[in-house]
Amino acid sequence: MNVPNNLFYAKTHEWARKEGNKVYVGITDHAQHEITDIVHVELPEVGKEFSKEQPCAVVESVKSAFDIYCPVSGKVVEVNEELLSAPELINQSPYEKGYFFVLEVANEEDFKSLLNDEDYKKIIEG
């Protein structure tokens, strides 16, 4: 399972990638594999604010629907609208083309409780 070492991970299988004071958010390769083929995505509205661990998006596969939780608190500044017509991008490219949205981070401290790649690997392998 692909777990890049430049990302932060939540126990609920979301990743966060810092770029300045912005952060890209998506779900992990492990998550997309477990969810199986994604057929529909509900993304948050730009401008909406979320606190850490709040449900912020929904993905639906032929298996079921799953809530996606915000890994850090912040305001949504951009959503990946391509996912609406091509949700399969999440399966094909979970860390690049399949990102969900970009947040403006409210509290840098939030990153401290996220996992690094090694610790996340332990969770999915355990």
Partner 1 sequence: MNNNKTLNEIKSNRNEEKIVECDVALNANIDDKYKRKSVPNIPNISENSLLRHYTNLSRKNYALSTTMYPLGSCTMKHNPLVNEKIAKFDGFSSVHPYQDEETMQGSLEVMYELQKGLSEISGMDYFTFQPAAGAHGEYTGLLIIAKYFKSRNEKRTKIIVPDSAHGTNPASAALAGFEIISVKSDEHGIVSPENLKQVLNSDVAAMMMTVPNTLGVFEKNIKEITKLMHDNGSLMYYDGANLNAVMGILRPADIGFDVMHINLHKTFSTPHGGGGPGSGPVGVKAFLKEFLPSPFVVKEEGTFKFHFNDKEKSIGQMKAFYGNFPVILKACAYIKALGADGLTEASKQAVVNANYILSKLKDKVKIPAGNCCMHEFAMSLKGALGDGIRTLDVAKRLLDNGYYAPTIYFPLIVEEAMMIEPTETESKQTLDEFVETLINIFEESKTNPEAVHNAPVNTSVKRLNEVEAARHPILHW
Q: To the nearest whole angstrom, how small is the minimum distance from the Cβ of residue 39 to partner 1? A: 4
CA distance 110 to 91: 27
Residues within window 31-60 making contact with partner 1, judged by CB under 8 A: 34, 37, 39-40
Tell me how many residues contact partner 1 (CB under 8 A): 12
* Per-residue mark of binding to partner 1, 85-104 (x: CB under 8 A): --xx----------------
Q: Closest by alpha carbon to 53, among 7, 91, 12?
A: 12
CA distance 32 to 28: 6
Count of C-beta atoms within a 10 Å radius of residue 100: 24
For position 1 contacting partner 1 by CB under 8 A, the verdict is: no
Q: Give the footprint of partner 1 on this chain (CB under 8 A).
A: 34, 37, 39-40, 61-66, 87-88
